[in-house]
A and B are shown apart, each in its own frame.
Chain A
Amino acid sequence: MSDNIKVSEVSEILRLQLQGIDSGVQFDEVGTVLQVSDGVARIYGLKKAEANELLEFENGVKAIVMNLEEDNVGAVLLGPTSYIKEGDSVKRTKRVASIHVGESMLGRVINPLGEALDGKGDIIGELLEMPLERKAPGVIFRQPVNEPLQTGLKAIDAMIPIGRGQRELIIGDRQTGKTSIAIDTIINQKENYEAGNPVYCIYVAIGQKGSTVASILNTLEEYGAMPYTVIVAASASDPAALQYFAPFAGAAIGEFFRDTGRHALVVYDDLSKQAVAYREVSLILRRPSGREAYPGDIFYLHSRLLERAAKIIKQQEVAEQMNDLPASLKGRVKGGGSLTALPVIETQAGDVSAYIPTNVISITDGQIFLDTDLFNQGNRPAINVGISVSRVGGNAQIKPMKKVAGTLKIDQAQFRELEAFTKFGGDMDPVTAMTINKGQKNSRLLVQSLHEPLSVEKQVAILYCGTHGLLSDVPLNSVPDFQKEFLTVLQLKHQADVLDVIKSGVINDEVSGIIEDLARKIAQEF
């Protein structure tokens, strides 16, 4: 009887059944955990494991291979250490650590593995697999920085301009407004987003308090910046490995936009905490330590991360050949995109000559140095113009800004020098008095409230007044009022003949004439 064919054994039905079954059973390569402590596991077996490969434990916790030794593998855990025990088995996934990136990620808060943290459900839609560690684009796939990235902050856009594809460090002590500069820059990209030419923003919070991340999210939501922003958060309570990988996840998301021909801005807040997390992981992995107990490759850690910020060449056929393209991006590459990086470093008591600050200063294309004293004096953003610099952004400044603010930086430096002398009192010659008066007015003009970024044309107009001495008769305390009124009138009456003209990159006698007349008229009111 057993030789009789049953109805359910008809070939067609069997074939359909086979199609429907995804048995998924295959040979896995497994290893056994021998030791586990402080977020690092030593695994025996896994002889074919590769560096940076993602491993998976039976309970779903993931780990990344960091050390390949002769008879064991050192892996950092991406979940709680308490979930893993000695003797647990772990299998290879045969793929490098990666994150699934897509448009649907915008407006979300995620962890470095791409899992949603904001309680709004899974990230759905089309997602591309982007490796966390990826080589930066080579020389021929890049082009010089030539497009500005407006921060909306007068002091930065005028004196330390940032270009798209640049790496500009924000450095300073605690409570000097480092994060505020980054957040203001993100908020200022709203204009581009509304104009249909978005600069996508990625804010990477490393080792911060959960409450801080929540308040940043609130601020960004309040100012309508979330539709074009992704927050990657690895908070202080997350394993060191996650904090170490967070900036790489941010860079991978940025690369998705960069390589598909769009513009992106990534803020790493902050890299000193990432360095500390990496030091922790390295010490537990028993890697030899160097200065300040950081491992020898801490410079390489930051340089390879920041090198991924780039302006990609416009020529489509060259861009398509870009090195180390992930398989998921093949056929989707578009030239002309950019990834701008704003790494943040916290110094201790203003010491920029410590190990990590000097490293990152030397890697980046300039730094914005924030000073506690200036901050306490009310100069906010508290940028110390003397030691802040932008090495490539000058080429990206729009012409009117270059013309108006070209000498602002050096003028302010001269003013600071002269100001020191006036503290002794005594008479001053008229030239010195004028320089000091102008310097004071300019300093006041550069003060800007929190989360109130200005469009570049307005910045040019108001700075024109400052650099051309049109504020000489306005009392120092009335400078903010002057600015407010001047900009309001300009927007109401001269949008087309002044602001739009400046925006298009032109500043001529006619425009400057209108500005001067208007400024004199308003100055008389004070």
Chain B
Amino acid sequence: MNTGLISSRYALAFIDYAQEGNASDSIYLEVKTLLKSFSLYKELNNMLHNPILSQSQKHETIRVAMGGNVHPMFDKFLTLILENKREKQLQFIALKFIELYRERNNIFSAKLISAVDVDTATEQKLITMVKNEKNVRLELEKEIDPSILGGFIFEMDSLRWDGSISSQLRRMRKSFADKNKRIVS
């Protein structure tokens, strides 16, 4: 019930603490690594929910998931979370931390998914376009996914522009299926 509330409080305390120690930039990168581990290895979350494992075992696993090299401030924070038995919320806390960091540093994250590699010129064009619109620091992540067949998908924050061929085909198929339905909205 209070998942959102708990993670927000921890994340807020953590970012303030990190900024006081001038370590927020390096911690931001570490949190991103942790989140990547969360999305790559589903077992990591299961492990945190496991009541049999001891706190120290969990602590060690999180360290490994972060590449083994953890900032002392982050390590302290992990100890606090484990002491308060809030490790189940770690993923939510990490996400909230990223959100807060980006908000405070005026960073705008975007993701470009394309079927083939995009050249630097197009990439720069896209970055300039967003910067002109928003006047922010853009953090662009690129992904190549041949399954979209062609076109591209551009994600900004929680908005997505899906101009991929696969989606267009899907929409076309749906519109054919709905052809004989007359829906009054």
Binding site for B on A (CB under 8 A): 22-31, 34-35, 42, 44-47, 67, 69-72, 86-87, 89, 91, 100, 122-129, 285-288, 327-328
Contacts and interface: CB of A to CB of B under 8 A. Distances in A.
Nearest to A125: B182
Looking at B161, B162, B167, which has the most chain A CB atoms within 10 Å of its CB? B162
A44 B4 CA distance: 10
A287 B1 contact: yes
16 contacts: A25-B161, A30-B159, A34-B91, A34-B92, A42-B3, A44-B95, A67-B1, A70-B4, A71-B3, A71-B8, A71-B92, A71-B96, A91-B160, A100-B183, A122-B181, A128-B184
A71 B158 contact: no
Nearest to A46: B158
Interface in B37-69: 39, 42, 45
Looking at A22, A35, A70, A100, which has the most chain B CB atoms within 10 Å of its CB? A70
Contacts of A328: 184-185
B185 A70 contact: no
B142 interface: no
B31 to A, nearest CB: 14
Contacts of A286: 1, 3
B7 interface: yes
A103 to B, nearest CB: 12
Interface in B19-49: 39, 42, 45
A104 to B, nearest CB: 10
Interface residues of B, number: 33
B180 interface: yes
Looking at B1, B7, B39, which has the most chain A CB atoms within 10 Å of its CB? B1
B3 A72 contact: yes
Contacts of B39: 86-87
A326 to B, nearest CB: 9
A25 B162 CA distance: 6
B184 A288 contact: no
Interface in B154-181: 155, 158-163, 167-168, 171, 175, 177, 180-181
A129 B5 contact: no
Contact of A71 (B95, B155, B185): B95
Nearest to B9: A70
Contacts of B167: 25
A100 B163 CA distance: 29
Contacts of A69: 2-5
A76 to B, nearest CB: 15
Contacts of B159: 27-30
